[in-house]
Amino acid sequence: MGINVDQFTEKASSLEVYVCGYCKKVASAPVLVAGCECVLCLQCSKGINQCPNNCEGSVYQLKSLGGALLKIYNNLQVKCSNVGCDWVGSLGEYAAHSNKDCTESTQQCPNPLCSLAVKKRDLAKHASECAYRSVQCEHCSSQISFLNTQSHLSVCPSVQVQCPLDQGCDKMMRSDVQMHINLFCPSATVLCPWKKFGCDYKGERRYLEKHTTDNNAKHLLYVKKSI
């Protein structure tokens, strides 16, 4: 697509030779239709297969704009289209200014999940505050979206948590909870080690030692009966 005529400081009549026959704006990256010499934007030329001005006898073959026409075109004075920018310069410099230098141009937030476009001058500030920015979990060092910090902390394996069975146990990493319950927690329900011989005791680990001591003779009897 071309550039709006009202962006130029020249009179509209002096720009007519460079107006794209398809989009009716001053051509961007202009090319000529062979034969009729009508001007098209390079991008506009890719969507058609004949001269949009219906010139008689024209052959739809494209050629570059050159010579004096190209020199005059590159020296046309154009105003920046971005609101708040007062830059005026040659058309040959316009692309570099608009795409690279203009602080009033808008750019997409670099965070892939964010759809917001902000002014280039505000981009660094926005990126540092964006809800979708990547941050490192202080517990497991994983890279996560800032927006998902709380949900990550609820499952993070390295967060220190309380034993779900006994508030008196020391805190431990979430990834160690199951091992703690299986091997160490005094409030975990366990079976008597003599179960295979017939003891049906089932109780908290804290009472297991007393159970085995108090029932030593009973356990020996279970063993004799199993032989």
Quick: pLDDT tens for 89-120: 999 999 899 888 899 999 899 898 899 999 99
Among 7-11, 46-50, 96-100, 181-185, the least confident range: 46-50
β-partners of residue 55 are none
CA distance 40 to 61: 12
Task: Kindly tell me if the per-residue pLDDT of 185 is higher than 80.
Answer: yes
Task: Kindly tell me if the per-residue pLDDT of 57 is higher than 70.
Answer: no
Tokens 């001005």 map to which residue?
A: 53
Write down the pLDDT at residue 65: 87
pLDDT band at 66 (very low <50, low <70, confident <90, very high): confident
Contacts of 77 (CB under 8 A, 6+ apart): 8, 9, 10, 88, 89, 90, 91
Q: Specify the pTM.
A: 0.57
Write down the pLDDT at residue 58: 61
- Which contacts qualify for 111-119: CB closer than 8 Å, 24 or more apart? 113/145
Query: Mean pLDDT throughout 57-84?
Result: 87
CA distances (Å), 206 to each of 166, 185, 187, 191, 215, in order?
A: 11, 8, 6, 12, 16
Write down the pLDDT at residue 5: 93
Write down the pLDDT at residue 1: 80
Query: Mean pLDDT throughout 193-197?
Result: 93
CA distance 40 to 78: 19
Write down the pLDDT at residue 170: 96
Quick: pLDDT tens for 140-181: 999 999 999 999 999 999 999 999 999 999 999 999 999 999
